[in-house]
A = this chain, B = another copy of it.
Amino acid sequence: MPQPTSVPIAPRHANTVTHYDQVVDVVIVGFGAAGTCAAYEAASAGASVLVLERTSGAGGAAALAEGIIYLGGGTSTQRGAGVTDTADAMEAYLLAACGPEVDEDKIRAYVAGSIEHHDWLVERGMEFEPTICVETQMAPNGTEGLVWSGGEDAHPFRDLATPAPRGHIARTKRSTGWLLMQTLSEAAIGAGAEVVYDTRVERLIVDGDQVVGIQATRYGEEFLVRANRGVILCAGGFIYNDEMVGRYAPELLKGTWKVGTEGDDGRGISMALALGARTKGMHAGEVSLPIIPPRRLVEGILVNGHGQRFINEDTYMGRVGQAALYANDATCFLIVDEACYEPNWMGIEAAWVCESVEELEVEMGLVEGTLAATIGLYNRHAAEGKDPLFHKAEPFVRPLVPPLGAFDLRPGVAPYAPFTLGGLSTTVDGRVHHVDGTIIEGLFAAGRTTSGVCAFGYASGLSIGDSTMFGRFAGRAAAEAKE
């Protein structure tokens, strides 16, 4: 679905429009995690709502995702599972994990709204079993409803805030993401939102400085909609637009498994930029580099192309990916011994297996002595059950004993799964900032079209989490906006 370059992105002036095909209170661009929630709330508040979706169905990127939803502070699911969590602990974690330069207002609003949002999802039909998955970071194979999805129980976060599992997962034979989008799209339509598919929104219509509608293309025909109260951009990020990624976040071009859909081409962001919208963190990207399951693999050590460790192996896979990609030239290996070896790990076999460290570093093409120095130092402290250098948790720390194997975690072999975190700068209720710091009247945005809770750091479940919650806020705010 390549984007036609012939249609201008610059706003169209209302005085060039003689007839609107439809007139509603609120227009929503995109029917994914943010769009469905915005549509539900706007329609529930009594507004007439038209959703324009480019593809032939609901869901966006969220429907393709595992669908973990990051919520906490003591949700009923957490309490049912015996988890003690507080808003303070959740806030402290997010402030540390999502920076640098987080939007503190968004994080506070997200924490404050977490329990209500959880219950709203449950009321819509999502079921989260009050049990905790033993494996971390990934959706469980079983029916457990909670997962440690952000490395809360590992350094550095375990030392900053009381850890709790906050990734909520639903019982479903397909992914939680699929179920969530089924549920939310039905909820939005049930609340009275009208949805038009196969319709590509191309540009905004403005009257003076105010957004008053959109111009779309539908089956090759121009389709014009007047929005009396507001337009909400819920059109995803830009990971599928290599030109934009190259200009804003070039490191992400090394990623191998793009997370998103072809609709994540940045058009929503660009339409607002053409109005002078402010952005935040356009270079930020989440890059998952999973080294689990099984979790015993974190008893091994991660080394870079210099044979040096660079992170605690038990941390969140998104932090591993970011560290590997941004700070270590996307060159990374996992060294294991027999006790933690997994012969068929995510379809990848160990690239090298050797009887000694000295042989292994030669086989891997590392400089002589590098891996031996790294493992020597690691084992010396591990013999005392400690990892003072990177603070891996003690249960995973023990000396590595030859023979040793090494997994090649470079792009092309291992999955570097990136998506963009940067986007429009918005208020908590989704109003879009102009570069001068004022609000662009009539324009709202949510989801990955915006910079949300995650300025740079990430935990699984935060993108669907903030897309759905802030999508709701934006829907409500637009419904209440002045005509």
The reply to whether A9 and B436 form a contact with Cβ atoms under 8 Å apart is: yes
With a CB–CB cut-off of 8 A, which chain B residues contact A377?
Answer: 369-370, 373
Question: Chain copies in the assembly?
Answer: 2
Stretch at the interface among A132-140, A270-278, A474-482: A270-278
The reply to whether A279 and B247 form a contact with Cβ atoms under 8 Å apart is: yes
User: How distant is the Cα of A212 from the Cα of B276 in the complex, in angstroms?
Assistant: 18
The reply to whether A389 and B306 form a contact with Cβ atoms under 8 Å apart is: yes
The reply to whether A274 and B276 form a contact with Cβ atoms under 8 Å apart is: yes
Any B CB within 8 A of the CB of A101: yes
The reply to whether B435 and A9 form a contact with Cβ atoms under 8 Å apart is: yes
Stretch at the interface among A159-167, A213-221, A280-288, A413-421: A280-288
The reply to whether A101 and B282 form a contact with Cβ atoms under 8 Å apart is: no
Chain A residues numbered 344-382 whose CB sits less than 8 Å from any CB in chain B: 367-370, 373-374, 376-377, 380-381
Chain A residues numbered 84-104 whose CB sits less than 8 Å from any CB in chain B: 99-101
The chain B residue with its CB closest to the CB of A284 is: B283
A190 shortest CB reach to chain B, Å: 37
Any B CB within 8 A of the CB of A425: yes
Chain A residues numbered 396-416 whose CB sits less than 8 Å from any CB in chain B: none
Task: Determine which of B250, B280, B368, B376 lies in contact with A456 in the assembled complex, contact meaning CB atoms within 8 Å.
Answer: B250
Give the interface SS of chain A, mostly helix, strand, loop or mixed. loop
A473 shortest CB reach to chain B, Å: 21
Q: For A253, A273, A425, which residue has the most chain B Cβ atoms within 10 angstroms?
A: A273
The reply to whether B246 and A10 form a contact with Cβ atoms under 8 Å apart is: no
With a CB–CB cut-off of 8 A, which chain B residues contact A368?
Answer: 381, 388
User: How distant is the Cα of A98 from the Cα of B432 in the complex, in angstroms?
Assistant: 34
With a CB–CB cut-off of 8 A, which chain B residues contact A455?
Answer: 250
With a CB–CB cut-off of 8 A, which chain B residues contact A122?
Answer: none
Q: A10-B209, A274-B276, A369-B377 are in contact. List 18 more A-B contacts (CB 8 A).
A: A5-B437, A8-B438, A10-B434, A248-B282, A250-B281, A273-B276, A274-B435, A274-B436, A275-B276, A282-B282, A306-B309, A327-B327, A367-B388, A368-B388, A373-B373, A373-B374, A373-B376, A373-B377
